[in-house]
């Protein structure tokens, strides 16, 4: 092989090869050293060992006040109270907090599967630093919905009426913004009796804070006195997916502070809101784009917006997805969502100064304003939407209007928002970014890209096919 050269590499012992091997060795050593430095720690309510956190027998009984960057803290079932995470940042090194389960619990030393089949319960979590990931490991949807799975981490709190401006989860504020935060498989709610004005109000939020690069995934936030996610001065790259955000709001007439409430009072740029269920809001509205900054590059797809009657007939001033009169919004995309059973104010993007608003391939089923009044759906590009029992005039070239008295969805009052039948073809030119529905089905495989959040007859992605090894081949 002496003298053979390939792309400038000499073998087998030429200098270029030795240099490459040296570089590879250095890179592998760096990866090894980084891995070697990362450690797992264990937290278990009621542990009676040495409390070193080294294994499940000697687990911490609560999260330490100082957490090591790059390490993972596994948490067993139990009750852990209020937690503050404020370990200073170190570059982009994360703190990982993970609910232990039978299949993912780190060491087996001292482990019992009974530690990982329930809930790690907190009252609140305040994060005053960046680069933190909290993962409950399991949990999805709401408890009254088909397919519900209980959550591995829960946070429930009684909102003291004598105290205002509190939250269950606070991100940032004391020492600045909290950037690069991931919350996954978590449930958070207030436990107060709904609609008692002396209890269920006064600015209590599920999540409150500000920062950059948040990911909230498989999150159930409900029974907020004010808002589900209050992003005060939020930054870039916010992603909320596969979550249920619901039961938020105080009507001004019943609230002694005149509280304005929303599911999300939103502001910022580069926001993805995908495959979520948004239910039951009151007062100002559902998702409201605020006016302190230009809200730019917001994407809504695969979501269901609905009212179940839980909030009664409390009115909303602005609508389901809208701005304020002084809002400035640009490049807002609302594609393949379902809006169903909204009987108070279903307005969409009708307020503020709005440019480059696209509203396509959505289902509007049984939607009106207060007392059956017309709703306003405003987009610079609005087409290929489906309407059944919707008030108002909605002029579109490819509009589909259905006059049936029964819902186009399977059982929306019971949480099944799938289509009963295929719609007319939507517009597939919106692109592959919108091509997978919340069930993981590919839109348009049957030749029809259905309108709405859920594809009617798409199929799940095919399994990976690995061919059998060849036979009858001999190498000499």
pLDDT of residue 162: 63
Percent of the chain with pLDDT over 90: 58
Q: How far apart are alpha carbons 140 and 161 in whole angstroms?
A: 30
Give me the chain's average pLDDT, please.
83
In angstroms, how far is the first alpha carbon of the chain from the final one?
Answer: 19
Neighbours of 103 (CB within 10 A): 9
- Look at residue 293 and give its three-state secondary structure: coil
Is the pLDDT reported for residue 197 higher than 80? no
C-alpha Rg value of the chain to the nearest Å: 26
Q: What is the pTM of this model?
A: 0.85
Contact 189, 206 (CB under 8 A): yes
Domains delineated in the chain: 123-434 (2.160.20)
Contact 320, 335 (CB under 8 A): no
pLDDT tier, 375 (very low <50, low <70, confident <90, very high otherwise): confident
pLDDT in tens, 156-187: 987 766 665 578 999 987 778 899 999 999 99
Q: How far from chain centre, in Å, is Cα 311?
A: 23
Compute the average pLDDT of residues 360-368: 95
Contact 283, 249 (CB under 8 A): yes
Compute the average pLDDT of residues 25-38: 52
pLDDT tier, 208 (very low <50, low <70, confident <90, very high otherwise): confident
Neighbours of 302 (CB within 10 A): 23
Structure tokens at 338: 């379902």
Q: How far apart are alpha carbons 337 and 15 in whole angstroms?
A: 60
Q: How far apart are alpha carbons 112 and 109 in whole angstroms?
A: 9
pLDDT of residue 173: 77
Is the pLDDT reported for residue 442 higher than 60? yes
Compute the average pLDDT of residues 422-445: 95
- Residue with more model confidence, 430 or 260: 430
pLDDT in tens, 45-81: 999 999 999 999 999 999 999 999 999 999 999 999 9
Is the pLDDT reported for residue 456 higher than 60? yes
pLDDT in tens, 86-126: 999 999 999 999 999 999 999 999 999 999 999 999 999 99
Is the pLDDT reported for residue 31 higher than 80? no
Compute the average pLDDT of residues 244-271: 66
pLDDT of residue 335: 98
Q: How far apart are alpha carbons 129 and 178 in whole angstroms?
A: 5
pLDDT tier, 311 (very low <50, low <70, confident <90, very high otherwise): low
Q: What is Dmax (Cα atoms) for the chain?
A: 89
Neighbours of 393 (CB within 10 A): 6
């Amino acid at each position: 092989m002496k003298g053979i050269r390939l792309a400038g590499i000499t073998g087998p012992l030429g200098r270029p090869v030795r240099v490459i091997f040296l570089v590879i060795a250095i890179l592998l050593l760096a990866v090894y050293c980084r891995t070697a430095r990362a450690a797992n720690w264990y937290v278990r309510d009621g542990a009676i060992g040495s409390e070193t956190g080294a294994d499940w027998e000697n687990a911490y009984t609560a999260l330490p006040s100082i957490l090591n960057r790059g390490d993972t803290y596994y948490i067993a079932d139990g009750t852990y109270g209020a937690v503050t995470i404020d370990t200073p940042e170190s570059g982009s090194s994360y703190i990982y907090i993970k609910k232990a389960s039978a299949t993912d619990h780190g060491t087996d030393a001292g482990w019992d599967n009974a530690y990982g089949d329930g809930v790690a319960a907190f009252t609140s979590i305040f994060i005053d630093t960046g680069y933190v990931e909290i993962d409950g490991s399991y949990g999805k949807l709401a408890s009254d919905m088909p397919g519900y799975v209980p959550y591995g981490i829960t946070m429930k709190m009684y909102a003291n009426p004598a105290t205002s401006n509190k939250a269950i989860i606070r991100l940032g504020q004391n020492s600045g913004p909290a950037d690069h935060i991931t919350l996954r498989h978590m449930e958070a709610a207030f436990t107060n009796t709904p609609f008692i004005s002396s209890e269920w109000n006064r600015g209590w939020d599920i999540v409150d804070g500000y920062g950059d690069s948040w990911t909230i995934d498989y999150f159930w936030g409900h029974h907020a006195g004010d808002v589900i996610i209050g992003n005060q001065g939020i930054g870039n790259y916010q992603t909320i997916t596969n979550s249920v955000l619901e039961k938020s709001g105080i009507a001004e007439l019943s609230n002694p502070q005149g509280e304005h409430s929303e599911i999300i009072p939103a502001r910022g740029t580069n926001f993805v809101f995908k495959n979520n269920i948004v239910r039951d809001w009151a007062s100002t509205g559902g998702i409201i784009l605020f006016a302190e900054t230009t809200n730019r590059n917001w994407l809504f797809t695969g979501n269901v917006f609905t009212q179940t009657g839980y909030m009664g007939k409390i009115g909303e001033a602005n609508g389901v997805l809208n701005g304020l009169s002084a809002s400035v919004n640009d490049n807002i995309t609302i594609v393949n969502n379902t809006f169903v059973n909204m009987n108070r104010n279903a307005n969409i993007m009708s307020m503020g100064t709005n440019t480059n608003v696209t509203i396509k391939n959505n289902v509007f089923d049984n939607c009106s304003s207060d007392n059956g009044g017309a709703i306003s759906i405003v987009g610079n590009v609005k087409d290929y939407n489906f309407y059944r029992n919707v008030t108002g005039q909605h002029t579109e070239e490819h509009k589909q209007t259905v006059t049936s008295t029964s819902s186009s969805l399977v059982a929306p009052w019971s949480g099944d928002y799938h289509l009963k039948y295929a719609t007319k073809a939507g517009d597939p030119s919106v692109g592959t970014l919108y091509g997978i529905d919340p069930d993981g089905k590919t839109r348009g495989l049957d030749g029809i890209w259905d309108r709405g959040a859920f594809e009617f007859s798409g199929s799940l992605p095919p399994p990976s096919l690995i061919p059998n090894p060849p036979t009858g081949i001999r190498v000499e």
